[in-house]
Structure 1
Amino acid sequence: MSSVNYIELLSLDASQDIEILNDCVPDNIGAVISAFLNSVGGFIVVKLSSISESIEEDKDQLEASLQRSISPNAIFSVETNVIQNEQLIIIEVPAGKDIPYSFNNEIYVRESGRAVKASMEVLKDMILSAQIEPLRWERRLSEFDSEEELSVSELNKLLSAKKTPIEVKNNSEDELYKLQLMSLAKHNRLTNAGDILFTKNPARRHPQTRVRAVAYDKKSDDSYNDFKHFEGPLIEVLESVLQFVQVNTPTKIYFSEQDHQRKEKSLFPMKAIKEGLVNALAHRDYSNPSGGVLVEIMKGKVKIWNSGSFPEGIDVDKIQKGHISILRNPDIAHVFYIRNYMEKLGRGSSVIQNECEKYNLLKPEWTSDPDLGVTLTISVPVDYEDSEKESNIENTELIVENILDDLSIIARDNVIELLSVLKGKMSRAEIQQALRWKDTDTLRKYLRIAIKKHCVLRTLPDKPSSRYQKYYLSEKGTKIANSK
């Protein structure tokens, strides 16, 4: 199979550098990784001689070995695939930011489509370029000065992650030294990257790390359906925003062709939303303290905006072709990769496009302007709204029956009554007052049923007994409440 076939199968731009190796020899692979890191990045496709049942374990061992042999620390991803009965290891290597990179103390560059040892002249040029390169924002020392402000939970998640280097996990020094091994601290101080990833409230020092999320029917509306500000460790913010999107995007109801059972799935592919958010948080320009990220959810559309523009060398055309990312913040991206939030370093745009196609959505759109920022828009087709209205009118009674069909008439009527009084987000006491039910146990009973039927959601799903708990209608619950 030719390299052109691999480029097409991997959804890459035909201009990207790709090297195909016929044997899984770590020394050969490491030399190519070093060369790609010292140039504009690329892909390595390793063709294995036979199908191995332990391929995932072998892949993990290979990646760990290569990571230990590359210096300084670098981000590259290793995955497996089977194409036309051929087992492959695919290694994606972005362009490095800390040139020169060595493999086993040897420095390699790309020459005539292959990896060769760098000559003395080339090495001098690389070192000189590195010396005059301005220190990027994520590597500058943070003003953070109190270890008490470190997020223990985020540190533990990093240290327990499968991809975290073993020498970091097993090191007996304190947390700051462990982060230093990953270029997230130096001189016993956190870098800006370490700060926004591993402190409890980095927004105190870096207000640009805040994320706003808003949900409304129309942008011109006077009121919002939901509006929140998120701040905290960067990955924790990502998880919270994803939950916000899940709660505020509609679900699509369909009937399975296999068992004819009523099914439900999100109107928007959450995998694509996640990729868009990861890109916005990991690749954006943090140097402007007045910048930020905004997620807008409206009828038939989700927008993810961040301030700044694409990194130099990247444009809309390259993004749409799945061009390998020139990482603006490789230290931040490395932690996202270790935590399994960035599996495809430069092909996240391809994942977004593929997911939108699976969901029969419009082709995602990216816009970039230095003054207006970068926006990703994911939209449903124009005629979706009309078809959904017709479908809802025809299937309203069927929806109610399918959700509540196993309940007694009394239980069904009580659940529907509960749903009909639930407006916005209400506490249990407020629901009871609206229902005028005197018996608290009765309310608890039918509230549990409504939650089990996915008609009612909790504002604090991980803390069901919290005194701050409130309840609100899901998409299912809204449809049932509106049908009565």
Structure 2
Amino acid sequence: MENLEKLITELCKYDNETQWIEFKHNNYKAEMIGTDISALANSAALLERNCAYMIWGIDDATHEIIGTEYDLQTLKIGNQEIENWLRSLLSKNADFESYSITINDKKVTILIINRATNQTVTFKKVDYIRVGSYTKKLNEYPTLQAQLWNKINNSKFEERYSKIDLELNDALQLLNYSTYFDLKELPQPVDITGISHYMLEENILVRQDNGLFAITNLGAILFAKNLNDFSRLSRKAVRVIQYKGINRLNMLKEYVGRKEYVAGFENLIRFIEALTPSEEDINDGLRKKKTAYPTLAIREAVANALIHQDFSITGTGPTIEIFENRIEITNSGIPLVDIKRIIDNPPKSRNEKLASLMRRLGICEELGTGWDKIILTCEAALLPAPKIDLFEDSIRVTLFSKIPFTNLSMEDKTWACYLHACIKYVQGEQLTNSSLRERFGLGASSSAVISRLIKETIRLKLIKPFDPTTSNKYMKYIPIWA
């Protein structure tokens, strides 16, 4: 980390320990470190500071650099590294990094702890807070607890700083700002003052009280030349993995993106398509490449994973896994809307500023239309319906290549039937036997098969008749919630 010695020197200038700084000599008791990480992360959020710090090798009273004998990278609890032990017992939003440095021939270890986001940071499911220079259980201080939750609930990931105290030219050197002007179709200003005007207006840069500049998380995640320059966000790089066959037994390729989400997006989509099956279709003498998955469906599914991920969950980023018969796109966080209402419900995003800017730059579709397009393009290509799986702290969207109707499971058939009814309903139409046959690419001879599928979907309480009094021949269906 850059300027580590300067940071430690500045922190040592404080007369006393604060609610966001803790000095140690050689005390590396694991339980103490865990509770202090919780307390310091929560206190940083309460005091609206980006980070809190634990520093070893500093005299607790004089703040003189006296050196320490150990560092967190080498300490273990049993056979487990202490950092891994701590992460296993801290809540998933605990975000910290440890560094060691030699200052005047004395070893100093520092733990940089990011402020609590989305919820309080807990250790062994208990949240702590700093009261003066002491670590206390948060529930013992209800007033502080209420104030902390108010700060957390009103804190936005995009607005927080990813790098601080930068000269304007140094800040711009870290950003691929030319992409912004290209996508907005604006002439790029010829001087840094003109460029910075747009960067400040978009909250990509922020002018600090000391006259220097900070790059926000929004600016870094969307425009960083290299995400590795931003230690906290480097783990949010997109990972693409290609496997041989239909399982994870044999990995063929792995790619970890280092570019930000804006400039790297088109290359990412092309890279994914290059790893998926395709064939050449000759029509009227024209040669056209036909891919196994609609490009628009891939674009929207990947964009959704980038936009709607939960940045408070550390140590993981969007992952795209490519198999012979499907693409699985996984991101941290679960949807803020019921997945059964993902088409018709008003859209919600935990990262509104990021979502808004990506839409204005043309990276993804207008608000609320992405899932419509994913489903419609899959239906038009006669592909199985996209599948949505929820886990404890992540969501996975699966796009399937072509599978014959007879090979689809009943679960996949009824899900496709339900989504077809949803799409029809938001278009002001209703599902019919005929429209569902067309959706699966089946002829009139399959009417009885489709009728049985409709009855099964009704039995699962996913759809219902539009007008129950209509004769069976002319029956139409709508989603159960309509």
TM-score (norm 2): 0.46
Structure ranking higher on relative contact order (CA contacts 8 Å, 6+ apart): 1
TM-score (norm 1): 0.46
